[in-house]
Each structure stands twice: as C-alpha cells, then as structure tokens.
Structure 1
Amino acid sequence: MFEAVRNNRRIVQFFLAVITLPFAFFGVESYFRDGSSDTDVIGKIGGTKITGTELANKVREAAGDKVDPAVASSPAFRDQVLDALLNEKAIELTASAAGLSVPTSMIQDAYLREPEFQENGKFSPKKAEYVLQANNLTKNAFEQRVSGMLSQRLLMVPLAQAASVSKATLARWVALSEEQRTVAEWKIDAASFKGSVKLADDAVQKYYDANKAKFETPERAKIEYVVLNAEELASKAKVSDADARKWYDDHQKDYVQPEERRASHILIGVAEDAKPEQKAAAKKKAEELLEKVKAAPANFARLAKESSTDGSAEQGGDLGFFGRGAMVPEFENAAFALKPREVSGVVESKFGYHIIQLTEVRGGKVKSFDEARAEIVTELQKQAGAKSLAESTDQFNDLVFQQPVTFKPLAEKLGLTIQRSDWIEKGGVPAGGILANPKIQAAIFSADSLKERHNSEAFDLGQGTLVSVRVLDYQPKKLKPVADVRPQIEQVLTLEETGKLAKAEGEARLAKLAAGTPVTATWGAAHAVHRHELSSDEARKAVFVQGLTKFPAYVGAATADGFVIYRIDQVNKPTVALDDPRVGMFSQQFSQLYGAADLRSVLAGLRARQGTEIYYDRLTSKTE
C-alpha cells in the first residue's frame, strides 16, 4: 500500500484538490492545539470539535495574499473553507479508525525533502530549524502533520484506483472525438448590412440609461507609501573582515566540499534471487574479464562496451561523478577505497558482479577563507537584515499610528524612502508587486483611508516585508456624459442590428437550401474538420448534429461578425477497437472524473456516518 502512495502521486494530488482548499503548509500550529472553550465551538464531526478560531485560521490560510479581501471575508468563501475542513476531518477520523499508520522512514523522508528546508537543492538543518521556529512549530509537530496527511493519502489511493470506465464507452468517446465532417462555408458578413441600419433618435439615450455602469470611470487614487524590507536592510549592513573570519572559524564544517569520485565499471548482471549455478557462471565471467583488464588496463572502456550488461556500457562503463550515499554500499566501499586509475577486484552487489576503475577524484577539502568570503558576507548580511527588521518592526508600527497623516518622521527615523504612485484604479493591477497585493488594494480604497487620509496599518506581506500606505488624492466613480460616449454606443447598436439582419438573411437562405430551392451561394473550399476545430459551441452543435442521412446537408450558426451556412458533404465516423491505444489514454482521464464523483459520494457518506453538526447561530459571529 505504501508503494501505491509513492507510485500514484499525481492521482493523489488530484483527489486532494477535490476535498481540500490549498491551505498553507505552515502557520498551522492551531491544528495541534486543543482546549478551546465550548463557547468557541461552532461544530462537531464524529465527536471532534471544530472551533471558530480554527475555522478563522483556515480561512486566512486559504485566502493568503492572492484572494481579494472582499471575497475572503464573504460567507460563501467561509462556507467553502468549512466544507473542505469537514472533508479533511472525515478522512482523518476514518484513517485513524482504520488503524492506518505511516512508517517513520516515510515521515523522515518527507522531512528531508520539504522544499522549505532546502538550500541549493539540498536539505539544510539550519534552515529547517529556522523555518520551524518562524512558524511556531516543533519538529515533532511538523511530523505529526505529515503523518496525518500521509495516512489520509493511504485511505484515498484505493478510491482513486477503484474508479473505472468500460472500454466500450471509452471507444465510443474516442470515435466521437475523432469524427470528421467535410464541410464548405458560406459566410454572410454583418458589415454588408451597415447601410441598411438606421437607429431611432432615442436609441442612444435609451442604451445609455440602461447601461450607465458601463460608462463610469473607476475609482482611483494616488498614494504614498513606505516599505520596510529585510532584504534591503541586509544590503545596507556592513560586514568587517574580523566578523567574517570569526564566522569562518566557528563554522569550518560548513565549508567542507564533499568528496566526489568518478568511476567506470563493467557489470555482469545477475538477479538477486538467481540460482547458485547462475551466480557462479556470472562471477566466473567477471573474473575472466578482470584478468583481461589487469593485462591491459587501457582497454577497460572497450571491454565495458563489449561485455557490460549495464546501461553505461555505451559510454565505456563511465558512471560520472558521485558522492557518498549515491551507490549501493558494496560498490561505494570499493570505489572509495581505490586510487585514481586503480582497478578493483570483482565486487558483488544485488545487481551482479562489478569490476570498478576509479578515474578521477574531486572535492574532499575545506574551502579557504578567501573562497568562502563572499558566501559568508551574504549570510551575515542576511542575519543582520533579519535582526534589523525585528528591531525596527515595533518602531514602524508605532510611528505609523503616532504620526497618522505623514510618513516623514518614520522615514527619517528608520532611513526609509517615501515612495509615491501614479493613479491606481480600484480593481486594476498597478505596476509593482507590492501595490498589486490585495491587502494593499483593500487598504487604499477603505473608507478610513479615503475620508481621513490616515496612514494605513503596517501590513506584513511576508518574506520580511512591511508596508504602510496613505492616500494623497482620490477621484470617485464618475459617469461620462452621453455626448462623450455617443460614438461608442452607436457602434454597439449598429453592430447589434447588422448582426440581426445577417442572421435573418442567413436563416432565410438556409431554409431555401433545406427545401431544395436553388440559391446563388458563394461557398468556400470543402475541407474536413473535427469538433475542436470549430470556433464556437453554436457552430459545433450545428455541424455535428447527429442523425444525418442525406447529403449534402445544410446547417447554420450565428457568429460575432455575421452568420455562416455550412454545407455538410460527408461524415467520417472512425471505428475504434477496444484495444486502441487512445482508449487507454482516455481511461486515466475518465477514471479521474469518475473517481472525483465517487470520492464526493464517499465523503458525504463518511460525514453522515460520523455525524456532523454545525451551530449556524454561532458561525457568523465567530468567523466575521
């Protein structure tokens, strides 16, 4: 079962998306805490309490910085998060009741592979400790979370694999998707009717009155803002040679370059469970090859190409560079015992019998201070920036409120630059990542900011960045005069009318064609099309109408610029065998769709069986 989890990660991820929102992995310490008072309980599932605090945390985590604050604070978003939380609890309780447990090795593997704990693509104990502390988590709490997630996956994978669709159904679907129809097109251009359109005298005014929202200029504001950023603070930090040298002396082990070795080998492969006589024959062959290598070491690559059963044979047995832990123990021990150009004896591993030639050694030494200096300076600057940020954060928060209508004292105290923006439209995306943040957008157009022109609160945007904004100028929504938008409205109304005329003309000509009445038509060249090659749903429905038995057949569809009549000359319905490779390709897609539906049904059953109760009278007050 554990192999199923490892080998079906994409399926598992798909089903996780069905049952949960993308909760942040960190900031979940409340997940492990209990003891909240009953007055904070807003629901129960299977006897497990769900608190308003827990739900509020989940709402914040699900919203993050990418969801519009207005959406994130809505009851609909809260209910979506609550539904996901109930599904998560249902799976957790079921997995626990089923006694599903996760081996310590899998949990440790997840710990070592967590991207947040990586530096330069490798696990860093220092970074792991720092990230856990920054999120108020212990290693044990992290591992509890991982264990819970993995045990839930163990429950879900069988569900993912159980969904199936008959090959007959899949073959029918493939046939429909591959069906082609030979068509010719007759386009009736709406623009050709422009001269026939005469708008009523009051048409523009009526359209204007009915669609005033379309002619409003959006709210917009100009702001000033200040940013306290750990990265910028770090760039200003000065690191002396003495400090850098002390760091180097105190952290010698961090500057050891791990030894790597490059080797070639000849492998005479034999299965681990092979019979003794098979192993003996393979070993004998390896020993004979070893004698040839000893007699002419320069022929190692040629012998590898001729005799090795390993994929590296084409490269003369070359395995490239590798470090400790990359190879099976028997191979590693032999390779790291050799000197350059030296050849090992016959080395047995679970893959068979190896003859190893060491070709090159690199690393295995300590970086000099000069080699490590730039790296050390960057690290000390980073630490200084984080320290400076921690020391300045309280001052930043205090001065934002103590001097509510100016950033000048704050900028002077902390050495910050007061920045100003051009006009920012509400709902628009201004240039610059900081001002595009939903929190900042909401702060700019809040009632307090617009009325009082006060400094906003200090927003923590993550990654060591604090921001406060203040509105300098504001323009509310403004309705453009009808005279200014008259040409625009006339264009819209004219397009509507020409479209109606083109459609009426097209349908009239289509009726004549269907009745067999001669019609002068301008047909394009006949060509074969699939469903997906047509530009609109209306065209697809028209051209691929089922049950055609007489050809040519005529159908029509309105388009953005007129009307198109299609002459269908031929239908090509392919026959798809049950063993067609495309049937297998569609199988996984349909299984996921059916599996998603099955999973939703199973979750509903789990929640009903465990008993779910939500106190809606408390829900609003606890989460708003």
Structure 2
Amino acid sequence: MLDLIRKKQKTVIVKIVFWVIIAAFVGTIFLVWGKGSEGDGAAGTTAAATVNGDKIGFQEYQAAYRNLYELYQNVYREQFTPALEKQLQLDQQALNTLIDQTLLLQEGNRLGIEVSKTELVDSIAKISAFQENGVFNRDRYLQVLAYQRLSADDFEAMQENQLLVDKVRTQLQAGVTVSDQDVEEEFRTQNEKVNLAFVKLTPALFESQVKIEEAPLAAFFAEEREAFRIPETVALRYLQFEPDRYRDEVTYNDEEIEKFYRRHLDRFAVEEQVKASHILIKLAKDADDKTRNKKRELAEKILAEARAGKDFAELARKYSDDPGTAAKGGDLGYFPRGAMVPDFEAAAFILKPGEFSDIIETPFGLHIIRSEGYIEAGIKPLAEVIDKVKTGLAEEKIRQIALEKAMDAYNINRKNGNLEAAAKTNDLGLKETGFFSREEAIDGLGNAPEISAAAFTLKEGELARPVVLPQGVILFAVKERKESRLPELAEVRGKVEQAFRREQSKVLARQAAEEILSALGEGKKLSDLARRHNLTVEETGLFARSYGEFVPRIGNAADLAEAAFQLTKENPVAPAVYEISGSDIVATLKARQDADPADLDAARREELKKAVLTRRQEEAVKEKVNSLREVAEITIAPTLQSSFEKE
C-alpha cells in the first residue's frame, strides 16, 4: 500500500501541479511544477513569490518555467523561436500559474474540502505510466519516480494537492449552464463569414509625387536636425598578433598533455544514450473513443506479434506511421536524454537491450519501443582521444603565446604609445582603420564591441590593453577622434531628402485613403475610386471570427477584424482608414455568408454545447481566481518583477 502524506499544513506548499493536459512522464493527466519551497540551498529557500504567506520557491518557479518551455517546444517544434518565447511571456505564465494554483489550493483548505485516501490511491493507480498490462505496478511506479528524481512521498503529496484543486474547480464549475440560444449564437460566431474588398495604399506608391523644394526641405531639416546628428567617431592604428604565426614555437610534454586532458574532461564526455527502434500508430489528440479503441487494438496486436518473436523491423515497415523511420525498420539510432518527448524518453531509458515497452502514448500517437542498445555516460580514455588533446593543447598554446607577445608590447610601450617600435620588435605590419562610430563595424576587424568600448575612452595616441578577437590579439591606439556634432544640410542632404520623401509619401497616402473613404460614404464604387488612384482592388476571401485579429491578405488588424463583422449590405463601408504594417487600408463588404442554426444537426449541437460549457467553466474558475487575487497578499521577488517589467 502507498505511504500517503495527508496535507494538514496550510503554511507550506510542498508541490504545485499544473492542470493542462500534456504528454508528461505520467501520461496526459498533469504537468508537475517544481519541488516547492523546501528545496536545498538558497534557490530553494528564497521565495520567487509569496501568496498569503505561502512561499513559492525559486526552484519551484524554475521547474515550472522549464516544464512550460518544454511543453511549447514540443508543440511548436522548429517554429519555437526565442522571439516566440518572449512573445508568449513564458516566465510570467509560469509564475502566474503557480500563484493561481496556490490560491485554489488555499480556497479548498478554507472550504474544508478533503481528499480521501481511497481517492488518492485510485488516481495514482489509473496513471498509465505506472501500469504494466493495464494494472498498477509498484516497482514500475518507484522506477518512474526515481527517473524523475521524485520521492513517493513528494509525488503523493503533489497528487493529493492536485486532486484538491480539481475538486475546487469542479465546485466552481457546477453551476455553469448553456442554453440552446447560447449554442446557436456560438454556431453563428464560428460559422458566419465575410469577404472584404479593399485597397492598400503604400507610401511607396506616392514617392514619385513628392516634390523636393528647398524651403520645405530646409524647414523639415531644421525640425528634425537632431535625428541626423553625426556621431562621435575615432580611427585606430593597431597590431594584430595572429596565433598561427607562433605555431613553430609550440612545445609540450606528457605532463602538459595529461593536465590539458583532465582540465577539459567535458570535451571528452560521452552522454548516456540509448539506441531504439519504434513503431508509431498515429492518433489525434481529439480522436473519438471509437477511433482511439481501434488504434489501440492495432497497437496491442503489433506488440503481441513482436513479443511472440516476429521481426520488429518488418513489423515497423508494415505498420509504422512514422515516415522518417518506417522504411528503416523503425530505427531511431542512438539518442541522449532530452532528445525525445518525456513519455517516450522515460520508456526508452528504462528498457534493457532487446526488451519491448508497453504501448506509450505521446502527442504523436501510440508507440511500441524496442531497445537496441545502451551507452553508459562516461569519459573517453586519454589514449582514445590523444590526437584531439594534442591539437587542443597546441591551439591553446599558440593563443597564449600571441597574448603574451601582445602584453609584452603593451607593457614596454604603453607610456609612449610607440606602436612603430612594437611593430618592428614583433615583425608585424602596422595597420589603420577608417573612422567608425560606437555602433559601426570596424574596418579590418568587424564587430568588436570590446575594442569599440575602449576606443571611445582613450586619448589620442594612448595604447589600450590588448583585446582577444577570433582573428588574433589586437594592440591598438586612437589615431584621431572627431567629436559628435549637428551637420549642415549639405553634408547629409541625401539622407534628409530620403526621409523627407518618405514622410511626405505617408501624408499623401493617408490623404488619398481619406478621400476614398469619404467618396465611398457618398455612394461611389470602390472599383472606380481605385482606378482613379491607380490602385488594385483586392479581396480577403471569406474568413470567420475564429481568425481572431488576422485578416487574410492584410495581416494582423484587430480593429478591422472587429469592424468587418458589423458590416451589412445597407452599411458596407468599414468606418475608418486602417494603418497596417505601414500601409493604409480602406475596405468594404464584398460578401457575407450568414450561419443558419437550422443547419445544426444533433451531434454538432451537442459538440458545440460541450465546447461552450467547457469555455464558460474555465471562465468561472478564472473569475474566482481573479477575485481571490484581488484580496490576496501577493509579493513577487524584486528580481523577477524587474525582469517582467522589461518585457
């Protein structure tokens, strides 16, 4: 029988569990968020946030963020970029989720809601990751928890908290209802479509109409002169100590080889890896029970054949839905931890070579895994990597020699700044750069922020300490400096004319757009007005409200997307000029496709009712959480608060 922790303490949050359905190590039930505020070290004892006195530790927050990151990474795959991560504000999402869960947990305690021992045991026994042949297996349970570095006590406390939160959510959702009228309105919202005719007025179309006259240009320059300020610039003289020049000076002995090897053991480390083959039976997340049962029956049949001795590679070629591996007999090759989705990885690393997994479900479908081999983590012996060690040691030494020679030259000549003498001593050519600003690349050196930063603090002729760049060690001095100043029009006339033309083009484009909008209001046709302005009438094609802020062929245009569904045959003109990505858009209703609830059959009506109910139930929970937040005492660590505010 499981040893259970009964949650009696209200001052310490041991574990928090996020309720989103994802493929985590226990299947599709929940995602574990951290290890609470009782972790080891400063990170564990310092609060990322405090909610009514209950601490959310930094370890817990970091684990929450990491798991959320992996969730989105698995969903978006190659489309998950740093820009998308920033846009999604995953760090704030993670902390807000922990705060919301803590509030719901506290509310459950306040209401006196309890989780029985039977409920806890049953919930854990139903988790497929802990089962063998559909039955809970204690050894497997402990093995999976060990893989996740969780104790049974911690996991059970966490699961008990989750069940309590689920009970609070269920209670909050109990009074939510959906009427037939609500269903029909949802049907209209989802299926009503519009097609807009529009013209796009880009400033570039009007550039040829802009006349550059001296008086307006001078007035524009006088007003915007600061924008054309010429920045401070410097020019350098420098010596480049290239490491390859000193390769013939390199010597080393066995002791140095041994030390380099030990100093860089991480370079010769071998990750723990498993070699596996698999058979994938694709299964959509939203598959109905009939489809799900049919796919599982097929997977069970294949697994039985494999365990009975049939060639796994042949079974993979025959049944697998993975286009990348089916033709290769399901072979995935060797892969380390972190390369596969969590459920798949957990199963693969538990198996011994030659063993088959049970049926594993991931976001891709149902998998049968066969372990083909295993490599234990370790360090390659010196004898095996001796050539790499010698090469690495030689590279290290030539870079060190280059740096030492540059430092010697600096120490000898820093008082007089005599680069000529340093060049002669080291048989190097003295080089010069052109003038460059703080933000510009340097002629011959490229982007070198460390050199730029030092250069603008030096006096003319003063030597800077050597700077290490990929191409060598650079010893330099400022040859000449030019202070920042406001230019005369003649010096930057080309840039000023370009900016003036760009600005006036925008004005002309907006004037034309306003004229078209006004004429449409007077009953003129968009096609005639477009022809008059040498524009092309385009159409969005039919689109629904489900597109959100996106309008086809135009882009993200929240105001236009909202206005589009207010347009009618009697009032077909969008009420404003919309600036989208630098262009002005004027739009009218081309066609409207209304949705008739009479087209709803019973199955679709029931499906919509469930969808509306689910959404409103979540809204009910969110509303309660928001009300709890309003009266709660919530503090966030200053370091986190500061990072959030910068986003």
| Shorter-chain TM-score above 0.5 | no
Q: TM-score range by the shorter chain?
A: 0.3 to 0.5
Higher RCO by CA contacts (8 Å cutoff, separation 6 or greater): 1
TM norm structure 2 = 0.44
* Superposition TM-score, scaled by structure 1 size: 0.45
